[in-house]
Amino acid sequence: MTDPDAVPFDLASMRKQYRAEGLSETELAATPVEQFARWFKQAATDGGLFEPNAMIVSTADAEGRTSARTVLLKHFDEQGFVFYTNYDSRKARDLAENPYVSLLFPWHPMARQVQVTGVARRTGRDETAAYFRTRPHGSQLGAWASAQSSVISTRAELDGAYAELAARYPEGEQVPVPPNWGGFRVAPQTVEFWQGRENRLHDRLRYVERPDGSWRVERLSP
């Protein structure tokens, strides 16, 4: 039996009343990426968010077993949403077996969410290298030091690998791009914009890609 003192909050009664202002079809941009750019600018400047580009990436393997993790969005345009990772990580292995992916931007302080569903494809090596060069020196070394998602014996093992790399590539020296590291671009098929409203009657407007590449907008019941 659960110790009642271990959960000091009444979870059933925890709730916030969301804002009255909503989201209407007449306010939407012509494409979901344009609408995302509008909301992202507000999230980055006025949203009070620590990392507005943090998103939950959900994948499933060939057997349908799901996993999710928080990743940072590093670029977006009409072709899709880009993030970077080790290609031997669990998410990359999942995407190799099943390229369908979901991205969720949980902008809670603004009572907003954006959910993207689509297909992930690897970015080209030139694009990957260009981004890698923008990373801080320590992050470049970290991409080499970490065999992401693999089991390691101790933290000291990871720190030792990093120290060896730091000695080999001191600050100011170019670090090569790891061959098993790179980006994924998620080409959106649906993009839902969720605006919290009073009485849990939220606004949910979803762009759905048509076969010709244009978009239709549908309103979902909350």
Q: Does 90 participate in catalysis according to the annotation?
A: no
Q: For residue range 197-222, list pLDDT tens digits in order.
A: 988 999 999 999 999 999 999 999 99
Residues of the chain with pLDDT under 70: 1-8, 11, 14, 17-20
Q: What is the pLDDT of residues 78-115, one digit of tens each?
A: 999 999 999 999 999 999 999 999 999 999 999 999 99
The full 3-state SS of 123-177, as one line of letters, equals: CCHHHHHHHHCCCCHHHHHHHHHCCCCCCCCCHHHHHHHHHHHHHHCCCCCCCCC
CA atoms within 13 A on the CB side of 105: 27
Question: What pLDDT sits at residue 2?
Answer: 54
Which of the following is catalytic: 155, 200, 206, 216?
200
**pTM score:** 0.88
